[in-house]
Amino acid sequence: MRDINKIAVLLFVRNAYEESKYKQLVKGESSKNVLLFKYLNKRIVNTVKQTNYDYFVIDCTNQHGDSFAERFKNAFKSIFEQGYDAVISLGNDTPQVSSDTIHEVVHQFKNHDVVVGKTNLGGAYTIGLTKYAFSKCSFESVDWSTSHVVESIEKRAIFQGSSYVQLATVYTELNTHSDLKLFIQLLIEKEISLVEDYFFLGLIPPVNHHYNYRQLKMNALQIGVTEIRGSPAA
């Protein structure tokens, strides 16, 4: 069993305005799109704060490198250079990620050097690396921005001799308007359960969905979910 004591979380994100340029989750409503990404960025920070782990937000203002692979690698490197034994990366595009996700990755570090959580699109909602795995990892060999991200990470881990594990839970990834519609539909059908149900249900007008919006609002209020008015704090 390896000795992994000092662990940090890497939040590798764009700020809400930059993100909204690349992803139109809410079509035709730029202000609502920015609001969504502000919310998602704030949410992932609050999720990490529920744990006792140090965290680092590395966004477009402090990312370095010409390619995604280079910027992502440099983000990990900057944290490992501060003496951490392992780093857990999270993005903002999988709202189902919780503090339990982080604890599960930490638990897997007891026996594995590479820990990955897979999305429904084949991407990774979390990548955890020990310092050993990072020292041998080739970020350029991963098929980033494809449906083969997790598959290529696994192949690379096996090739470099790092012990690998994939988390059992697959989460829904938000990259397009269609992804958001699917996510909301899964909320409606109770396939996904989040405290923030009402916030997401309010993003797309109810006329686009076949559900009783008024009743869903009442249900949300009855279980203590309050409507989010205005932009979450940046």
Residue 190 and residue 83 share a domain:
no
Report how far residue 77's alpha carbon sits from residue 31's, in angstroms, rounded to the nearest whole number. Answer: 35
At residue 184 the predicted structure's pLDDT band, cuts being 50, 70 and 90, is: confident
Residue 200 and residue 126 share a domain:
no
At residue 202 the predicted structure's pLDDT band, cuts being 50, 70 and 90, is: confident
pLDDT of 165 over the 70 cut: yes
- The answer as to whether 60 is a domain residue is yes
Which residue type is seen at 6?
A: K
Which residue matches tokens 């699917």? 182
Beta bridge partners of 124: 118
pLDDT of 110 over the 90 cut: yes
- The answer as to whether 72 is a domain residue is yes
- The answer as to whether 232 is a domain residue is no
Alpha-carbon distances of 197 from 166, 177, 186, 218, 229, rounded to whole Å: 27, 17, 10, 12, 14
Alpha-carbon distances of 228 from 12, 107, 195, 203, 219, rounded to whole Å: 25, 34, 12, 11, 15
Number of domains in the chain: 2
Residue 141 and residue 53 share a domain:
yes
Please say which residue of 137, 166, 195 terminates a domain. Answer: 166
| Tokens read off for 115 | 């820990």
Taking residues 147-176, what's their average pLDDT? Answer: 94
| Tokens read off for 61 | 């203002």
Q: Among candidates 81, 78, 66, which has minimal Cα distance to 12?
A: 78
Residue 100 and residue 143 share a domain:
yes
Please say which residue of 143, 166, 189 terminates a domain. Answer: 166
- The answer as to whether 231 is a domain residue is no
- The answer as to whether 145 is a domain residue is yes
pTM confidence score:
0.85
Q: What does the pLDDT read at residue 12?
A: 96
Report how far residue 76's alpha carbon sits from residue 143's, in angstroms, rounded to the nearest whole number. Answer: 18
Q: What does the pLDDT read at residue 84?
A: 97
Residue 121 and residue 34 share a domain:
yes
Residue 161 and residue 92 share a domain:
yes
Taking residues 75-104, what's their average pLDDT? Answer: 96
The CATH code of the domain that includes 92 is: 3.90.550.10
Residue 91 and residue 24 share a domain:
yes
| Parent domain of 202 | 177-222
Residue 135 and residue 93 share a domain:
yes
Residue 161 and residue 187 share a domain:
no
Residue 210 and residue 153 share a domain:
no
- Of 8-12, 16-20, 72-76, 85-89, which range is least confident? 16-20
